[in-house]
């Protein structure tokens, strides 16, 4: 899949080949796939490839004059469960796509500035004179705020690498032999996790604890803030041994040996998903 890593925006044909190889690499028993991708995947070839395989997707849209016209004509509502000033959704058929799709959008108010006479709007930025927008195309049927939250979990690899190198000390590997470095990394992560637990136990007796409130996702475990912007969660309702990943999410071993989130579930979308760009979230039978 290296042809997408050269820094250039891939063509629709390259994206379709990439998804074909990703599909072939999936293990047997996968029943559902959720995909999320940035605007580099915004093309009819990607959407058609997702639909042929029955995959659920959300893709960030690129700005076009027609899409901006749709946003201006849309019925906007307040968006109390996101960071935006407004939200909307509409059916829209981009040029050459063959049929309309569900589009969702968030709108952020801008401080007005005077614009010179005859100055055109800059369509390379997804904003107009009065607003900034985030727009997505999707075949998922969930609420706008939940879909935006799900999309926001993608593309966190850089933060995970930074945490591993700076907080867990994995940049200082001791040997040129891979097995020895593996042992070192396991011990370093064990020490890092134990240190996080010790900091948690050492908190002040009246320290405030918080519970995530962004979405009603069932029986969420209590989350406690620790250093590095990460959260530690208590034992989840499903029981089992808790295991902390680099991204700060707690996971429970599933009955078939796969790792399942203990954060609760809402129609297949769950907090604590591992992140990537684009991400394929799979669920085993």
Sequential pLDDT tens for the chain (285 residues): 455 555 567 899 999 999 999 999 999 899 999 999 989 899 999 999 999 999 999 999 999 999 999 999 999 999 999 999 999 999 999 999 999 999 999 999 987 666 566 655 544 347 888 899 999 999 999 999 999 999 988 867 777 778 778 877 777 878 888 888 888 888 888 888 888 888 888 776 665 555 444 443 333 333 333 333 333 333 334 333 333 343 344 333 343 443 333 333 445 565 444 443 344 454 444
Strand-strand pairing, 56-60 and 30-37: parallel
Decide if 156 contacts 141 (C-beta within 8 A).
no
Q: Which domains does the chain have, with CATH numbers?
A: 10-152 (3.90.350.10), 157-284 (no CATH)
């Amino acid at each position: 899949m290296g042809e997408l890593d050269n820094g250039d925006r891939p063509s629709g044909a390259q994206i379709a080949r990439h998804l074909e190889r990703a599909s072939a690499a999936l293990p047997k028993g996968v029943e559902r796939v959720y995909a999320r991708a940035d605007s580099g995947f915004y093309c009819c070839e990607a959407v058609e490839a997702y639909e042929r395989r029955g995959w659920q997707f959300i893709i960030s849209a690129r700005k076009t004059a027609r899409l901006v016209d749709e946003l201006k004509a849309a019925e906007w509502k307040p968006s109390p469960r996101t960071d935006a000033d407004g939200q909307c959704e509409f059916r829209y058929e981009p040029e050459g796509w063959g049929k309309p799709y569900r589009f969702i959008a968030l709108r952020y108010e801008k401080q007005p500035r005077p614009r010179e006479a005859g100055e055109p709007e800059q369509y390379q930025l997804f904003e107009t004179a009065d607003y900034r927008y985030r727009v997505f195309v999707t075949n998922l049927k969930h609420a706008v705020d939940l879909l935006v939250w799900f999309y926001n979990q993608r593309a966190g690899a850089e933060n995970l690498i930074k945490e591993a190198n700076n907080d867990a000390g994995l940049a200082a590997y001791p040997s040129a032999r891979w097995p020895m470095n593996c042992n070192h990394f396991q011990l370093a992560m064990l020490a890092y996790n134990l240190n996080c637990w010790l900091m948690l136990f050492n908190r002040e007796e009246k320290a405030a604890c918080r519970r995530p409130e962004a979405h009603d996702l069932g029986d969420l475990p209590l989350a406690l803030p620790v250093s590095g912007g990460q959260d530690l969660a208590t034992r989840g309702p499903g029981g089992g041994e808790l295991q902390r990943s680099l991204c700060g999410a707690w996971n429970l071993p599933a009955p078939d040996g796969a790792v399942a989130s203990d954060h609760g579930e809402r129609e297949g979308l769950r907090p604590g998903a591992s992140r990537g760009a684009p991400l394929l979230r799979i669920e085993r039978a």
